[in-house]
Structure 1
Amino acid sequence: MTETQRSRTFTWTDPAAHVGELGRLSGLDMLRSLAKGDLPRPPVMELLDAEGVDAEHGRVTFALEPREFHYNPLGTVHGGVISTMLDTAAACAVHSMLPAGVSYTTLDLNVKFLRPVTVESGRLTCTGEVIQRGRRTALAQARMVDTAGRLVAHATSSCMILEVPGAAAPAA
């Protein structure tokens, strides 16, 4: 390995080990359990080294400290990393409104990148909020700001709301 090469190792827990438990929790309860450490972080959060979950009904916040391993060949955080964080925040905001036995999937994600992000940008905060929830779809937005409070990226997302086969029936 040369002086400029870096190495990184991470571990994760198989998410399939907790699927049954997740089906019995409302979306908000699941997110709060993740935040407290009662449930293991999803593998993608370990991969990106994303931090914390602050969840309330219809609103979720995550954080990411930009690192070199997030960089593209131009020396800025790859747009895919930023998009993943925005998608996570928007979709989890939708999830925070769902009862046990109901899940979601992202239908679309529209991202606007407003400024480059580097390690000098400092901690990024990504907040997702539900704009509108219907019976089968929900619209959410997410905003990512740097340490100085400058908006670095924004996204809107549509999610399809799904019944989870074999999960507890939603409360009436």
Structure 2
Amino acid sequence: MTQTQDGTRTRTFGWSDPAEHAHLVGRRSGLELLQAMSTGELPPPPVMHLIDGRNMRAEEGTVTVELDPQEFHYNPLGTVHGGVLSTLLDTAAACSVHSTLPAGVGYTSMDLNVKFLRPATIAGGRLTCTGTVLQRGRRTALAEARITDTAGRLIAHATSSCMIFDLPVA
């Protein structure tokens, strides 16, 4: 983010073409794809650049993503917008499901139930969001995600149902 002398603020960011690595989705497990993003072997999806998410870590059934609150995340009240927090929660919960899927199997979020418990601000420091699979069947999965600040206070939490499906053979 850049601030000029007249007080205007601007933000510029770029992203990689998501189609560039789409062919890997059916050839690698979900965990392999997420870990490749974590190490920088593959670029993160464009939404991570949009919200400025970082430091993804993935293990089977658990994914953690971090976000440093910035002014561009703020709502008119001067706190991180609920949509940004919801995006972070959806990412961690859904990716935790993705981390359990074999190659050739995909998923999509079916719902996201969010509870906001306290405001997040720049002063609260880095937000850590961890998603965990609670239950996974053949066609659906249930996951939860929790956002905490640097003091360990719970900012928001969510549950998410995901639909699991076979990917078309390319």
TM-score by length of 2: 0.96
SS at match of 1:23: coil
| Residue equivalent to 1:73 | 76
Q: Deviations over 1:123-155 (max 9, x none)?
A: 000000000000100000000000000000000
Deviation at 1:2, TM superposition (A): 6.5
| Residue equivalent to 1:63 | 66
| Residue equivalent to 2:90 | 87
Return the match for 2:50 from 47, 50, 67. Answer: 47
Any stretches of 5+ residues in structure 2 without a counterpart? none
Q: Deviations over 1:53-99 (max 9, x none)?
A: 11111001000000000001111100000000000000000000000
Alignment of 1:92-111 (within 5 A): 92-111=95-114
Aligned alpha-carbon RMSD (Å): 1.0
Return the match for 1:11 from 9, 14, 25. Answer: 14
CA distance in 2: counterparts of 1:17 and 1:90, whole angstroms: 24
Instruction: Count how many residue pairs are aligned between Structure 1 and Structure 2.
Output: 167
CA distance in 2: counterparts of 1:162 and 1:10, whole angstroms: 33
CA distance in 1: counterparts of 2:53 and 2:109, whole angstroms: 20
Q: Which consecutive segments of 4 or more residues in structure 1 shift more than 4 A?
A: none
Identity %: 66
TM-score by length of 1: 0.95
SS at match of 1:154: strand
User: Which residue identity does 1:23 align to in structure 2?
Assistant: G
CA distance in 2: counterparts of 1:27 and 1:104, whole angstroms: 10
